[in-house]
Amino acid sequence: MTFEVKSGLNPFFKYIQSFQGIQSQLEANLKARNLDTSDVLEILPYDIRLVSVGNREVNYGIMNEIKVIIREPKTNGRNIEIAYVRPRLAEKNNGIRLLPGVANVTSYLKADQFDVEVELTFRELSRYSEQILFLDFAVYLK
């Protein structure tokens, strides 16, 4: 999932990038291994990363917080934070790994679709960058 961080975003406000109607690949991945959703005990966030398009260096240190939230489509109430990071002030790199949460997201991924939001807050005015969000989940079987 790719998105742009526009330059000049105000540090007093939260910037939210939404991805809606993401197709869950859970059933297809399980079927390829001769399993189905009844074999799943739980699913946890495993590896959540932002990587700059073209592997360009980005000053993630201007970001105060980065959060990733998973949401059921068509409902505004049911959502859960699945990853978080507070970058170090001088953190410059071509990507940043978020700390995965311990929330069980099985019900979200068993659905046909789910939504994801990336919430960014800044320490200073933002600078333009293009980012790719990578989501990997760990599936634990019964």
What is the pLDDT at residue 36?
92
What is the Cα Rg of the chain in Å? Answer: 16
Query: With contact defined as beta carbons under 8 Å apart, do 58 and 94 qualify?
Result: yes
State the pLDDT at residue 133: 97
Is the domain spanning 2-141 CATH 2.60.120? The answer is: yes
- Integer CA distances (angstroms), 1 to 33, 65, 82, 115, in order: 26, 19, 16, 11
Residues 72-101 pLDDT 10s? 887 666 889 999 999 988 788 899 999 999
Whole-model pTM: value is: 0.91
pLDDT score of 97: 95
Distance CA 108, CA 114 (A): 6
Hey, where are the domains in the chain?
A: 2-141
Beta bridge partners of residue 45, listed in sequence order: 137
Q: What is the pLDDT of residues 39-58, one digit of tens each?
A: 999 999 999 999 999 988 99
